[in-house]
Structure 1
Amino acid sequence: MTRRRLLLGGVVAASAVGFSPFLTARSNAAPLAGELQLVPATPNPLGSIEKLFLLKGDPLSGAIKRIVTEEGNPVPSPKLIPGERRVLRVLHFNDMHNHITEMHGKKGDTYRLSQIVQRVKAARASAAENEAVLFVSAGDDHTGSIFDELMGWSVDEFVADAGYRSYSAAGLDIAAIGNHEFDRGAELLKKAVQTDARFPLLSANVHSSQHLKRDEDYVAAAIAEIKGLRIGLVGLTTNIDTRVGQPDDKTLAVDRPLKAIENILPAVAEISDVVVILSHCGYGIGQHTSGKAATVRDVGEGDFAIAGLAGKLTDKPVVVVGGHTHTRLNEEQIEEGNLIDGVLITQAEAHGKYLGDIAMSIAAENGRKDWYSSVSLHRIKPRDKRVAVDDPKFPTLQNEDDYDADFEKQHIAPLIKALDSKLAEVIGRVDTTELSRDKMIASRYVGENKLANYMNDAVLARSASFAGGEVDFSLFNATGISTGVEQGLLSFKNWYDVMPYADAIHIASLSGQQIFDMLQSNAKRLLRDEEVAGTNLEGFVSRGFLHFSSGIRYEIDPGASARDAIAVNITLKGEAIEKCLEKDYTMVVNTYLALGGFGENWNGKPIGGGVAGDIPSFDMRSLRYDHTGLIYRNEVIAHIRNSQVISAETGAKLDGRLVVFS
């Protein structure tokens, strides 16, 4: 089945229109302003949807007043009548980030998706006659594991989209578009969708990409029919953290989630019995702390706002299946605060660690009264083959009866095989014990970091071969350092795990004054001594703290508060900053920061991450850039290959480039 057939083909039997004033049949049913077109499509043949209808058109131009369909086309079944009841069971995950199987040399491989597949198959097999089972993803299915490398960095390099290909085989019914789907560019995402996605992609607020086309590669919303139950589905994407403004797709934009919901939800609800909003916008609202965030982060119009508005727009049952913030919600039952005006909010953390499970009893006359019957998360077990059978921990770990072995063999193993040579390739050696995960994670937000020093200086050394010539300085954000490295041989996978994010190299032209301003902003982002004890350093401290190459040396005086913190004794290439303010320099900046740091706010907005006082940030977007097309991680790996060794002698050390006053 081709992607074109999925989006254009489908159900062939005709049905009468007339059960809803929102739905009209006419010839030449292309949607006008205020309209969406209902188009029958072919669902994933391995999923549960029996009839699928895509809603095409622009949901951002204004309120949707009418849904149109071509005369003679099939339409969804009439709504449930009083006394009629269906059970909808939604099995959901979010932010998988390609952790479909986690490979570990000592512990063995954790088959995350294959465990999920076993649970989904069991739920579908045991479903009652009036029970519909829907299997969904709330987005961010890319960026985070070695499987990303099968995507390549251009259409010509593309091998497979490991996530979408395996989801299609797993029987996924539908997915939202997350912000990390765009990390390698919309052109490559389009290739992935058209090649490997046998299910629809949803976003009602992504628009204007030069490559990824609404109504061709994704749609705003859909209607799924299972056992006579009409399920409305709407997708939303964060407008805070999506990488808009990339050179190869300057028109890509993400509108406000609430604008999209206000325009589209009443019409979708009108022809549905229940609505599922796949929201990749984040748990909370505004500045909020949950999930991967160790301090507050900017969620913007998050799930609290979405649920609150949805409850006002319709009296139908609505559930917000969330993502983006990696938040574990409703593990055993609905937790306080996760039901807003009868609208349920849920999320299943990230990386396939949990499968969410929502059971709803839908009756026409009940609306949102007593509409949910159970809400929980199923833990996906990690593997550790070193643990003995008689160890009390053994039952909590992955064993042979916990996963679908055939699925792993048929669908995941070929992807791993395609990666084998890349994964195992030895790129160098680590000759120190000082770069371990625990040490690097503990130091990345609080001061100088050995691995960050090495990475920045490595890229600077590589710049001698750049087309534009050698660069003066380099920077990297602390949250981009995901782990450390152990002493011994270093594989490609080991280094990939350190910096999994898909960032290109952009060369900024800036003055000494602008570097001074940048360092002043950075000083206020430091995780302060009094904050460390109360902060989970394993999480993201989304303040945007930066590390720099050795040519920038400075000290931070923390002062009495973040507002008082200042950078002092600054030198650039050995010269006092006072002599450098009017000089021009170049600096390596990664994509994330060149685009403004999104939720980490290097964009002129107040510094976030729990920094009090609405302190304006330095705007990285104001700088002039040369977009090299080079990949940050690839350049560091090339440097490792050349030097062969990571050690204090090759730059993985503290050299006093940053000193924090105590």
Structure 2
Amino acid sequence: MTKPKVDLCALVEKSADADLLREVLSPVLVRRADATPGAGELRMVAGTPNPAGRAERVFLLKGDPLAGPIRAIIAEDGALVPERRLADGERHVLRLMHFNDMHNHMTDMHPKRGNTHRMAQMVKRVNKARAAAADNETVLLLSGGDDHTGSIFDELLGWNGEEYVVDAGYRAASAAGVDIAVLGNHEFDRGAAQLKLGIERDAAFPVLSANVADSAHLTRDLDYVPAAIIEANQLRVGVIGLTTNIDIRTGTKDDPGMRVACPVEAATNLYKAVEAVSDVVVILSHCGYGKGMHQSGKAGALREIGEGDFSIAEAIGSLASKPVVIVGGHSHTELNTDGINPDNLVSGVLLTQAKANGAFLGEIAMSIAAGGGRDTWFSSVSLHPVKKRDDTVPEGVDGYDALEQDGDYDAAFETEIVEPMIAALDDKLAEVIGNVAEDAPVSTEQTLATRYTTETALANFINDTLVRQSETFPGGAVDFALFSATGLAKGIEPGEPLSYRAWFDVMPYADQVEIATMTGAEIRDMLDSNAKRLLRPEEVEETDTSAFVSRGLLHFSSGIRYKVALGDSVADARAVEITLAGKPVEEVLDRTFRFAFNTYVMLGAFSEAWNGKLISGGVADEIPSPDLRALSYENTGLVYRNELISAIRKMGTVTRVEGADLDGRLVIVA
């Protein structure tokens, strides 16, 4: 009998149709001579486990999970397959150690407080757990994605094959014993071609994503696969990888066809097939905690999550007949700090996440009775804090015991894996690129306090410096420049030397310089939208301005001057008295200007909504944004951060005269 065609994404919303959905998705394992997968099939092939991990065998599931429900898994005649080894009722303990959004913070370096050995602390704890594991216990280590972008180690990856030194995040994770990882959005910051190099050369574990497709450089079933089965100590652990389709670089000039499909669709198509050959299923979801608009983790206000972990749990919860958990990432959310929080059980599916940047090592302990379904298992969840280093605090002082000491981390891992990468960076890290004048209002405190509310001196400096630097650009100088408020991660300290590393901390994101052609009218509309994105005075007290406020506020170079009339509400806010290059905007509405963007904004700023969607970040009214993606762009191939560093080297000192000052280009009026 032919099974009916079903709209899966619609059906998973209706619990009454769960029985029909289970029937539609009733996959089987098939052996045949020709293992090429057809429609509704995945091919199972043996992979290579990470020798530093605990997976004894890995089976990769290859095929297209986006074409429709998977109804069969195909293995070649005589090939190994993950067979059930536990007798009914036999109990096994699975401990999943996990981190997410490491962002290359394996070791945080500080000249005075000493280095915080984040991953080496995790390695020590994981190795201790593995060494102490009982006969019926399995300890796996998982990465929830975004292993790249955020620290000086990014520079070792380079921007092309000639610049490639090492993929620091993947090399460290491989040596740490990671058994499997999912692709996060920031894995693509330097392009899929560079990511491919990192996977080929430095990832000793399988990399997953079921919903990334059609990249010109990264090939599904070769560089990554939708799902895998890990065999370890008689247990079969199915793992599905999902990547957020929010905040990811698609439609780039270098890789125009790459797309990231609906994660719920991918999970629903795959789930029953993976479950059929597993004892327990793990969803490695780099999609974010919540769904739709949600606030958690790095968000200082509401941000767009889209089809996040809540949506995924609701979809698979009605399908699952075996234990299943979601190990999350992307939103930088600290979950289940003091044990399982009932709010993190969605449709019977446990959600957990370990914040970000190596702040915690997460752990899920699952006691599973084979053949017992979802009714005979239980779980405990914990987050193990990673200690910060501060050698300036003497022993015996309050707080000393909470700080990292030499015995808290795996020294061999640090010496053999991390220190050679630090050595490769030493010259660049330590290089003094300039100085900062004592009276420049550009400190971290000043920058974070103002970046979402008003004119900001460091943003002025960045934009004005880029405009001056553009005189050397191959296509000629630009008229204006902009930079996003969320791209300003820190300030610089007045009266101190400015190192390469300190400037990297200001601009940690991998942006290139993109030049848009804009009319005066288009700039006017952009400024008017920007006026609605400021944190209003009544919002400031209740908002953590050191956190991520994803409403897309932009800062501009000095050739753009305007006032923001706040009005009585966000919807009333307007950009008024606008001048462009010294002329009232009304006189230059049809004139075209060359405008330097960072890549993030050129791509529509994702959840910060310069893409035609509603302005997010806690803006109460439903206000659509201009779609900046529709502009005509010229890619310079220049790295935004590197252009600033080059200019600072030439000027010698960051001063008010050089643009690190407030000049009234933006004025807020009631």
Is the contact made by 1:342 and 1:368 (CA closer than 8 Å) also made in structure 2?
Answer: no
Aligned pair partner of 2:480 in 463, 467, 473:
473
* 2:567 paired with 1:551: no
Equivalent position of 1:82 in the other structure: 88
* Aligned partners of 2:518 and 2:593 also within 8 Å: yes
* Secondary structure, counterpart of 2:342 in structure 1: coil
CA distance in 2 between counterparts of 1:608 and 1:224 reads 40
Q: What is the aligned partner in structure 2 of residue 140 from structure 1? A: 146
Distance 1:207 1:240 in 2: 15
What is the aligned counterpart of 1:420 among 412, 417, 426? 426
What are the residue-to-residue correspondences of 1:50-199 with 2, within 5 Å? 50-78=56-84, 80-199=86-205
In the alignment, is the contact (CA less than 8 A) between 2:612 and 2:626 conserved in 1?
Answer: yes
Counterpart for residue 468 of structure 2:
461
Residue identity opposite 1:339 in structure 2: L
SS in 2 for 1:222: strand
- What's 2:509 paired with? 501
Provide the C-alpha distance between the structure 2 equivalents of 1:57 and 1:192, rounded to a whole number of angstroms: 22
Displacement, 1:560? Answer: 1.1
1:281 paired with 2:287, answer yes
C-alpha separation in 1, matches of 2:302 and 2:218: 32
Matched, 1:366 2:369: no
Partners of 2:588 and 2:600 in 1: how far apart?
27
Hey, what's the Cα distance between the residues in 1 that align with 2:438 and 2:568? Answer: 37
**Offset of residue 79 of structure 1:** 5.8
Structure 2 residue corresponding to 1:446, chosen from 453, 458, 461? 453
Counterpart for residue 648 of structure 1:
656
The Cα of 1:21 is off from its aligned counterpart by: 6.1
Q: Percent identity?
A: 56
C-alpha contact (below 8 Å) 1:79/1:271 kept by paired residues: no
Could you tell me which residue of structure 2 aligns to residue 562 of structure 1? Answer: 570
> Structure 1 pair 304/110, CA: closer, same or farther in 2 (3 Å)?
same
1:380 aligns with 2:386: yes
Answer yes or no: is 1:400 the counterpart of 2:406: yes
Residue in structure 2 matched with residue 320 of structure 1 by the alignment: 326
Shift of 1:370: 5.4
1:615 is matched with which residue?
623
User: Is 74-83 or 188-197 further displaced after alignment?
Assistant: 74-83
Residues 317 and 371, structure 1, Cα contact 8 Å, conserved in 2: yes
1:606–1:615: 8 Å Cα contact kept in structure 2?
yes
Structure 1 residue aligned with 2:342: 336
TM-score, structure 2 length as denominator? 0.95
Residue deviations 1:74-121, cap 9 Å, x none? 000226432111110000000000000000111110000000000000
Equivalents in 1 of 2:320, 2:28: separation in Å? 14
Deviations 1:551-597 (A, max 9, x none): 00000011111111000000001100110111111100111011110
1:24 aligns with 2:45: no
Taking the aligned partners of 2:590 and 2:261, their CA distance within structure 1 comes to 39
Q: CA deviation at 1:372?
A: 2.9
Distance 1:632 1:432 in 2: 26
State the Cα deviation string for residues 301-339 of structure 1 (Å, max 9, x = none): 000111111111112111100000000000120113100
Provide the C-alpha distance between the structure 2 equivalents of 1:226 and 1:297, rounded to a whole number of angstroms: 39
Structure 1 CA distance for aligned equivalents of residues 410 and 203 of structure 2: 21
Q: Helix, strand or coil for the counterpart of 2:186? A: helix
* Conserved? CA contact 1:358–1:372, under 8 Å: no
Q: Secondary structure at the match of 2:222?
A: coil
Distance between the aligned counterparts of 2:555 and 2:188, measured in 1? 25
Query: Does 1:33 pair with 2:39?
Result: yes
Contact 2:89–2:372 under 8 Å retained in 1: no
Letter in 1 for 2:255: D
* Cα distance, 1:467 vs structure 2: 1.1
What is the aligned counterpart of 1:540 among 541, 545, 548?
A: 548
1:429 aligns with 2:435: yes
Letter in 2 for 1:484: G
Secondary structure in 2 matching 1:156 = coil
Quote the offset at 1:368 in angstroms.
2.3
Which amino acid letter does the alignment assign opposite residue 99 of structure 1?
Answer: H
CA contact (8 A) 2:369 2:376 kept: no
Instruction: Please say which of residues 214-223 and 327-336 is displaced more in the overlay.
Output: 327-336
SS at match of 1:423: helix
Give SS of 1:314's match. Answer: coil
Residue among 285, 301, 320 paired with 1:295: 301
CA distance in 2 between counterparts of 1:614 and 1:539 reads: 23
Q: Compared with structure 1, are the counterparts of its residues 651 and 21 closer, same or farther at alpha carbon in structure 2 (3 Å cutoff)?
A: closer
Alignment check: 8 A CA contact 1:36 1:66 kept:
yes
Contact 2:27 2:272 in 1 (8 A): no
Count of residues in correspondence between the two structures: 643
In the other structure, the counterpart of 2:21 is: none
Q: Is the 8 A contact 2:27 2:273 kept in 1?
A: no
Letter in 1 for 2:472: S
Q: What amino acid is aligned across from residue 287 of structure 1 in structure 2?
A: M
Rounded to whole Å, the distance in 1 between the matches of 2:522 and 2:270 is 44
SS in 2 for 1:357: strand
SS in 2 for 1:568: strand
Counterpart of 2:648 in structure 1: which amino acid?
A: I
Q: Which residue of 2 aligns with 1:251?
A: 257
Secondary structure in structure 1 of the residue aligned to 2:298: coil
List per-residue Cα deviations over 1:224-277 (Å, max 9, x = no partner): 011111100000000011100111111111001001011001110111111000
Go from structure 1 to structure 2 and tell me whether the alpha carbon gap of 1:339 and 1:21 turns closer, same or farther (over 3 Å shift): closer
2:180 and 2:205 in contact (8 A); partners too: yes
* Structure 1 outlier segments of 4+, above 3 Å: none
State the alpha-carbon separation in 2 of the partners of residues 79 and 221 from structure 1: 21
Query: What is the alpha-carbon distance in structure 2 between the residues aligned to residue 617 and residue 364 of structure 1?
Result: 52
Cα distance in 1 between the residues matched to 2:443 and 2:653: 15
Kindly report the root-mean-square deviation, in angstroms, between the aligned alpha carbons of the 2 structures. 1.0
- Is 1:79–1:273's contact at 8 Å kept on the other side of the alignment? no
Equivalent residue letter for 2:460: N
Query: Is the CA contact 2:40–2:68 (under 8 Å) kept in the aligned structure 1?
Result: yes
Instruction: Tell me how far apart the structure 1 counterparts of residues 227 and 70 of structure 2 sit (CA, whole Å).
Output: 12
CA contact 1:356–1:376 (8 Å) conserved in 2: yes
Q: Is it true that 1:585 corresponds to 2:593 in the alignment?
A: yes
TM-score, scaled relative to structure 1: 0.96
- What residue is the counterpart of 2:11 in the other structure? none
- For 1:7, the equivalent position in structure 2 comes to none
Q: Distance in 1 between matches of 2:376 and 2:591?
A: 67
Q: 1:371 Cα shift? A: 2.3
1:424-447 CA-to-partner distances (Å, cap 9, x unmatched) read 011000013521111100100001
* 1:392 Cα deviation after fit: 1.8
Conserved in 2, the CA contact under 8 Å of 1:427 and 1:490? yes
